[in-house]
Every structure is written in structure tokens, then in C-alpha cells.
Amino acid sequence: MKTLLLKLEPLIWFMFGQGILIGTILLTGWILVVGVLMPLGIVDPANLDYTRAHELATASLFGVIPLGQLILAALLVLPLWKGAHHIRSLLVDFGGGERDGIVGGLLYLVAIVGSGMGIAAVVGL
């Protein structure tokens, strides 16, 4: 497992890095509006009813580039990698170096499954 991880490390690190950078940049507005302001009623949830939400999500640039779906895909997938990788390093810091192969492997498996689910959902819009 450890050897496999070692081979994939550059890719993992790339996804993780984008998770921090792009993930954070995209998540902030999402969490703010959908997770906080609308549930609290500060912004009317009606502004994001199904029709509008679907329209936004499938909006495209010049009719060819599916911008909405691309943004959503990044928003769904990248944070998972940031999360998995950071949990792994947190565990290592608290003495989990020995089991790093297995634990890391499991965490990335979660990220992979999540990524698959996220992309399927986005494609299915």
C-alpha cells in the first residue's frame, strides 16, 4: 500500500493542493449562502428554488462550455482530497506513521468514492 501511495503521491498532492486553493475559494460563497444565510432566513431560500438552481448549475459559457457543471465538479471533488490528505497528515503527526499506508489508503478510497459520486451527480444534472 505504502509503495502504491508513493507512486501516486504527486497526483495526490496535486489534488490536495487544488483542494486547498480552489476548494477554499469556491466553498466560501457556497457555505455562506446555502449553508448559513438561507437556512437562517437572512436570504430568502426561494431565490434558489429548483428551477433557478438547476438553471445556474447547468449554465454554460457560449453555449458550449458547461461552466456551472465544471464549477460544481471542482466544488464537490476537491475538498474531499484536501480533507483526506490533511486527516492523514494529522494522524501521522500523532504517531500514525507506522500505519500510514493502510490509513492513508482508506482515506483516499473515501475521497475516490466521493469523487465518483460527485461527478456522477454533476453529470446527471
Partner 1 sequence: MAGPAHPHSMAPPKPGRTRAAPPQMPASWWNTSRMRTYLLFDATGIIYLLVGFVAIRMIRALAEGAGAWQAAMQSLENPIYIGFHLLSLISVIFVAVRFFRLFPKAQPPSIGPLKPPPGPVIHAALYAVWIGVTVVMSLALAGVIF
Partner 2 sequence: MSSTNTGEAIAPTQKTIIITRFDPDKDEVPRKQEYSVPCEDNWKVLDAVNFIKDELDATVSHRWSCRMAVCGSCGMMVNGEPKLTCKTSLKEYGDRVDIEPLANFPIVRDLVVELDGFMHKFEAVKPWIKRAKEKAEDKAALHDTKLTFSQSAEELGNFKQFSMCINCMLCYSACPVVANEPDFLGPAAIALGHRYNMDSRDEGNAERNEIFRGEGTVFSCSFANECSEVCPKNVDPAAAVNQAKFEAVIDWAKGLVLPSPSSGGSN
Could you tell me the sign of the dihedral formed by the alpha carbons of 92, 97, 100, 103, in that order?
Answer: negative
Compute the least distance from the CB of residue 78 to partner 1, in Å.
Answer: 8
26 binding partner 1? (CB under 8 A): yes
Compute the least distance from the CB of residue 30 to partner 1, in Å.
Answer: 7
Site string for partner 1, 68-97 (x = CB under 8 A): ----x--xxxxxx-xxxxxx-xx--x-x-x
As a whole number of angstroms, the distance between CA 92 and CA 51 comes to 45
DSSP assigned state of 63: T
Q: Show Cβ contacts of residue 74 under 8 Å, excluding neighbours closer than 6 positions.
A: 18, 22, 23, 26
Single residue of 3, 10, 40, 62 touching partner 1 by CB under 8 A:
40
Please report, as ranges, the residues that interact with partner 2 according to CB under 8 A. 6, 9-10, 12-14, 86, 89, 92-93, 95-97, 100
